[in-house]
Structure 1
Amino acid sequence: MPRPKRPRCISARPRIRGFQPRGAEETGEIILSLEEFEVIRLIDHEGFDQAGVAEVMEVSRQTVGRILKSARFKIAESLVQAKRLTVQGGCYEMREQVGGRGRRRRGRRKL
């Protein structure tokens, strides 16, 4: 039996639930977890490096690399194969910003 996943810290829920292809017939659905979305947001949008993201999410740099690889593959597959991309699920903890310091609210969310 594998070891249970340690929840990843994310700062906020995304403002979107997903994307749908336009101009082509939809051929399926891809699920992007919230921790995959958070890694993409921090690295590709905010400009963090993997070590910085690992600190923020309280996981190892190697874990961030695996999550990033998985997220980029799912996004590419969604674009190339005209599949709907849905952001949901995962194993994470919400980190609430209170007075400039992070405060975590525990709760596992699984698909």
Structure 2
Amino acid sequence: MDIRARDTDRELLLEFSGEMDHHGARNALKEVEIAIDAALPRSLILDFAGVTFMDSSGIALILRSQQRMQLMEGSVVLRNVPEQARRVLDAAGIGRLVSIQ
């Protein structure tokens, strides 16, 4: 799992690529937490365009990100979610907690 980060005007964009399985999500979560702590964003955008596979580990990453942003009174938006990952998110009801565009 690779992550590219861009931070502009209190908006942090994280672009994911690769498989977001147990191993990939565990490492990605550490990187996400470091990026959030460094940028202190008001808005966190998670771009899933490059995600080739996602299981429930991806849900855990999203929920942890949402919790961190909620503590900072910020928001989380998911963008470009591939069909397979979207089915996983829909089954878990993630759309009730974060915006999916």
Q: What is the TM-score when the length of structure 2 is the normalising length? A: 0.32
More helix by share: 2
TM-score (norm 1): 0.29
Whose strand fraction is larger, Structure 1's or Structure 2's? 2
Q: Which has the higher contact order (CA 8 A, sep 6+)?
A: 1
Larger Rg, first or second structure (1 or 2): 1
